[in-house]
């Protein structure tokens, strides 16, 4: 389990990275989590040709506080502590720094500025100065935009697969090697909406934190007794997973 205030290597993980990534991807409609492969393997892909030494400036305390407020607007305090209490902003900054490629890091950082500019436009104040209701209204608009973009991306991916299949069929039917790849021009994958990046990291960070797993969810430390069938009462909390 993540504990963003504790850097001890002796702290046990109570949920595997692979399970956490899979669960957040499912919550977000089955889309691949940005940086997910690096999260699962526990390392950063330094083989990217776009990486350059010193190209990423570490997040400042003010930026982490900003991410805390974004996450806490998504997952506010209710009967259980919210995302800020779980130090989700620090988790988000850590994952962007350690697991994202340079172009993804830039897109995320640009997204933070874009979100603040949207707050200035909509509310005449910065996001940090906005009221909780103003913040929520803005993030609801952004969430609608990222969902619409994700739907469009899904349709485009289906089209790509269909065109690739037809191209392969034509290649098999042809006796000559093709001069060009007709699908090459549409293989570029633009970055996902910046708010989707923030939302998925907020969910991942919160529900893998001690607060999220033991208070927002129900948690029983494993190993324990095997219960193949557990009675469920509608409205009860879901069970947290284990490592």
Domain presence at residue 89: yes
Higher-confidence position of 185 and 150: 150
Residue 184 has pLDDT above 60, yes or no: no
Question: Closest Cα partner for 36 from 219, 196, 222, 144?
Answer: 196
The pLDDT tens digits of the residues spanning 196-237 come to 999 999 999 999 999 998 999 888 776 677 777 878 888 888
The pLDDT tens digits of the residues spanning 75-131 come to 999 999 999 999 999 999 999 999 999 999 999 999 999 999 999 999 999 999 999
Residue 243 has pLDDT above 60, yes or no: no
Domain presence at residue 166: yes
Residue 67 three-state SS: helix
- The range of the structural domain enclosing residue 120 comes to 17-44+57-173+189-216
Cα(184)–Cα(165) distance, integer angstroms: 13
Residue 174 has pLDDT above 90, yes or no: no
What pLDDT, on a 0 to 100 scale, did the predictor assign at position 131? 98
Domain presence at residue 163: yes
Say how many C-beta atoms besides its own lie within 10 A of residue 4's C-beta. 18
Give the torsion sign (CA, 30, 31, 33, 38).
positive
User: Is this model's pTM higher than 0.85 or not?
Assistant: no
Say how many C-beta atoms besides its own lie within 10 A of residue 31's C-beta. 16
Distance of CA 178 to the CA centre of its chain: 39
Domain presence at residue 232: no
Domain presence at residue 237: no
Cα(48)–Cα(27) distance, integer angstroms: 29
Domain presence at residue 184: no
Domain presence at residue 221: no
Domain presence at residue 51: no
How many separate domains does the chain show?
A: 1
What pLDDT, on a 0 to 100 scale, did the predictor assign at position 241? 72
């Amino acid at each position: 389990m993540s504990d963003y205030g504790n850097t001890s290597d002796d702290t046990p993980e109570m949920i595997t990275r692979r399970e956490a990534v899979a669960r957040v991807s499912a919550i977000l409609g089955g889309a691949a989590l940005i940086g997910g492969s690096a999260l699962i393997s526990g390392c950063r892909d330094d083989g990217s040709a776009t990486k350059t030494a010193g190209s990423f400036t570490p997040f400042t305390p003010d930026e982490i506080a900003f991410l805390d407020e974004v996450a806490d607007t998504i997952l506010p305090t209710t009967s259980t502590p919210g995302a800020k209490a779980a130090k989700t902003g620090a988790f988000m900054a850590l994952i962007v720094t350690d697991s994202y490629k340079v172009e993804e890091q830039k897109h995320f950082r640009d997204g933070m500025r874009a979100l603040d500019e949207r707050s200035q436009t909509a509310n005449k104040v910065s996001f940090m100065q906005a009221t909780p209701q103003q913040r929520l209204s803005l993030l609801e608009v952004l969430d609608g935009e990222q969902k619409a973009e994700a739907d469009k991306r899904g349709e485009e991916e289906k089209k790509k697969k269909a065109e690739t299949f037809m191209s392969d069929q034509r290649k098999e039917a042809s006796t000559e090697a093709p001069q060009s790849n007709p699908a090459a021009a549409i293989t570029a994958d633009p970055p996902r909406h910046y708010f989707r990046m923030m939302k998925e990291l907020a969910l991942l960070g919160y529900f893998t934190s001690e607060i999220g797993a033991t208070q927002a969810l129900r948690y029983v430390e494993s190993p324990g007794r095997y219960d193949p069938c557990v009675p469920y009462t509608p409205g009860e909390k879901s069970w947290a997973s284990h490592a």
